Amino acid sequence: MADKAFYAITSEEALKRVQTTVADGLSPDQAAQRLAQNGPNALAQGKKKTLAERFLDQFKDFMIMVLLAAALIAGFVVHEWADAGIILAVVILNAIFGVFQESKAEEAIDALAKMATPNAHVRRGGQILTIPSSELVVGDIVLLEAGDVVPADLRLVESANLQIEESALTGESVPVDKQVEPLTGADIGIGDRTNMAFMNSNITYGRGVGVVVATGMQTEVGRIAGMLNAAHETTTPLQDNLKALGKTLTIMILVIAVIVFGVGVWRGAESVPEMFLTAISLAVAAIPEGLPAIVTIILALGTQKMAKRNALVRKLPAVETLGSTDIIASDKTGTLTQNKMTVEKVYYDGALHDASAGITSANPIMTIMNFANDTQVQDDGKLLGDPTETALVAYGKTQGFDLDAALAKEPRVAEVPFDSERKLMTTIHQLADGSYLVATKGAPDQLLKRVTQLATGDEVAPLTEADQKQILSANKGMATQALRVLGMAYKHLDVLPETIDTNTIEQDLIFAGLVGMIDPERPEAAKAVAEAKAAGIRPMMITGDHQDTAEAIAARLGIIEPGDDAAVITGAELDKQSDAEFEKNVTKYSVYARVAPEHKVRIVNAWQKRGKVVAMTGDGVNDAPALKAADIGIGMGITGTEVSKGASDMVLADDNFSTIVIAVEEGRKVFSNIQKSIQYLLSANLGEVLTLFMMTMLGWDLLAPVHILWINLVTDTFPAIALGVEPTEPGIMKQKPRGRASNFFTGGVGPAVIWQGLLEGALTLGVYFIAITWPVHSSYAAIHADALTMAYATLGLIQLFHAFNVKSVHQSLFTVGAFRNKAFNWAILVSGLLLAVTILVPGFNGLFHVTTLDLFQWAIVLGAGVAIIVIVEIVKFVLRATKKR
């Protein structure tokens, strides 16, 4: 029979199990022996890839493998070493750029890491020592006080008003009251294990003593780290699309090469070896060797823009992934909310008031919330203590209450400390006339049991049953809004009783009012949620907090409609559903409360099985497994734990949820611009393939390899990169997400590539046909030399003119703006000049096997270039008109 969990046994049994005592702790020899046996109290670090491993990883992409094969064929089979060299240079530069970007992002992430390993106060051999937490072992006795970080998983053996903030582990923003009694019940969740203290949580109030029951990877935090190591790495939609594109291109190119080879051999015009080389040359010409580099450059430019807006991208494909996101599953605490308790409602004089309405510092409720309070005001003005109490003091500051001055006049002389059973706290202050003020705050239901009078304005009257019902109604109203409500009461004493306790002090109190607090939503979060919904993205909240709190915040943010209970589910309810049932029902839920890390991964997986692209935001250790499982994990740079940042694809340096919406827009623009570049490159390459294919079929003189090489170099690279920085098209954030099923050829791009590529080839062949039909020379050699030169010039210029067409798949060139993109304008100009140099500048003619053209011939070439714009504009107009009808 397995041992019971530590939370299910008494503290005495826990001490006996780990063979230690509270009075003495472990001896130094015992501690050293256990440390040597079990290792340090630290999380196992994932093995970082070396620079060489990162570099080699860049070559695992299918398109890169195709290009490497093309380079080998170009060099060793066709003996076009220049082609092979350029392809290899592009591939290597692409790999170097990818490694550089990843390393740069890692450095930025590392710069955010400021958490040092905390020390621990332990009792060993009867003495209290301060040691690094990494040296803790099971059985050590740890002393805890406010401000400490819990150094390992502990079973508490003493608790004096101990409160621990565990949001990084459980997602619950309110500190947990701790006690030492064993817990009964099966499978008690982490957030409800009130007799345990967990590694990396924070002591906010009181003090305690605990015995170490787990260290390192055996702790709850370590268990999550282990889940991360076992998590499956997902590929991004961009990686899937590029892989699919590479396979498609390979098949098409092989088919074309086989057809050319077969037809050529059948015609018998050339020998089998010659036709084999021709077919291979055609295949090499069809490969868009600049595509991986261009995609990398576009992504890198996107990362630079996002970095300026505080979004640090760790992996290049993550830039685009947000653009295809269907679901944003967000943690609540610290991500959608401020992770800071704030006063929102104040009830006094029989009415409920917004905190923003203001309250005079003379109001008794203001004095009580500040006096019955253990918050410490540091020299720099920062408040240290329980988040609920610091919220009261912070609110007092905003209302002009000077706590230091008030305490100087009316100092605290006695107190009845907070107790989790009676749920009250009282302080006693001496007034200037020698009398005493009793200030009590606590749970409204417990406080009302001790109240006999009611303060209304300057009057005090007996508390009636109607008054009590009204107060309880106000309390319930605030509670249903997920506010944490505290009651305030007071009384005056002429002399202090000999015994200061709840029976002598906390009786016959005067009720002053109620204060409602909440961890409020971030100011910009509601707008970000609305923008996400407008973009067709479904925002969801996943939190370890209570259901009522989660539902209220979600309704305030617009994630769900107020009162939509059916959209809310708890972790316990989720456990009752099988994976198949949950996958079927997952569309019903938008809010998940009281969930564990396993639940978050399950939620992400359920949506992914439905073909959705899932983004997960979070800052806690508990978010890390889901961050890694999601298509894109978004960590928080300031409040985020190092575990969550390490599991993320992107980190928000400002922890601002609205930055995600900016990233979504940038991601959509990046994909749109990659589509434009692919449309441009593939239609251009298709035009080249068609030209060479038909020249082979018709027995015409072929364009030389140097022609194709130069056209690819000057017309593919610069315009394609410039298309990658096109401005965002209007309405991009009103479109539905593309989702995982989409690819680079959706949205009309695929058909456009085909018919526009065929059009480029047809126009080029048409110019060649005109040149040989109406020659300006008489000799056969001169005629075909001019025809090849005109075909070469036309093929290059048509591609440059066509670059204007692909600024938008459907919209007119004149709607999107022909010359808005300055980088594009320069790219076209430079590419055009580089093409013209090979024909117009003396000395280049022989090198490129071209002739000098006269004005009539140039007019034909330019006419073909302009024709592609005119024809494409006409087709776009017809398609738009047809769609409208």
Active site residues: 331
Closest CA to 74 of 331, 300, 287: 287
Q: What's the residue count for the chain?
A: 885
Q: Between 749-773 and 780-805, two packed helices, what is the crossing angle to 10 degrees? A: 150
Three-class DSSP labels, 522-551: CCCHHHHHHHHHHCCCEEEEECCCCHHHHH
Please work out, in degrees rounded to the nearest 5, the angle formed at the alpha carbon of residue 474 by the alpha carbons of 468 and 480: 135
Torsion region of 863: left, alpha or beta (phi above 0 gives left; psi -120 to 50 gives alpha): alpha
What span, in angstroms and rounded, lies between the C-alpha atoms of 219 and 133?
A: 13
User: Are 289 and 70 in contact, with CB atoms under 8 Å apart?
Assistant: yes
User: Are 220 and 190 in contact, with CB atoms under 8 Å apart?
Assistant: yes
Helices (H), 268-350: 272-286, 291-308, 318-321
Q: Give, in order, the Cα–Cα distances in Å from 346 to each of 195, 418, 438, 522, 804.
A: 33, 22, 20, 21, 62
What span, in angstroms and rounded, lies between the C-alpha atoms of 285 and 795?
A: 13
**Dihedral (CA of 204, 208, 214, 220) sign:** negative
Place of tokens 């022609």: 707
User: Are 341 and 516 in contact, with CB atoms under 8 Å apart?
Assistant: no
Largest separation between any pair of C-alpha atoms in the chain: 127
Mode of pairing for the β-strands spanning 327-331 and 538-542: parallel
What span, in angstroms and rounded, lies between the C-alpha atoms of 264 and 280?
A: 13
Q: Where would I find the beta strands (DSSP E) of 134-201?
A: 141-145, 153-165, 176-177, 196-197
Three-class DSSP labels, 232-248: CCCCCHHHHHHHHHHHH
What span, in angstroms and rounded, lies between the C-alpha atoms of 664 and 537?
A: 10
* Burial label, 885 (beta-carbon count in 10 A; 0-12, 13-18, 19+): exposed
Produce one character per residue of 564-581: b if its CB has 16 or more CB atoms within 10 Å, e if not: eeebbbbbeebeebeeee
Residue 328: both structure tokens together: 């944003």
What span, in angstroms and rounded, lies between the C-alpha atoms of 859 and 642?
A: 64
What span, in angstroms and rounded, lies between the C-alpha atoms of 486 and 153?
A: 31
Place of tokens 């290049």: 316
Residue 492 three-state SS: strand
Which DSSP category does 562 fall into?
Answer: T
* Burial label, 17 (beta-carbon count in 10 A; 0-12, 13-18, 19+): middle
Place of tokens 């760790």: 314
User: Are 36 and 141 in contact, with CB atoms under 8 Å apart?
Assistant: no
Q: Give, in order, the Cα–Cα distances in Å from 577 to each of 568, 572, 584, 597, 607.
A: 14, 9, 10, 17, 15
CA atoms within 13 A on the CB side of 581: 6
Contacts of 57 (CB under 8 A, 6+ apart): 49
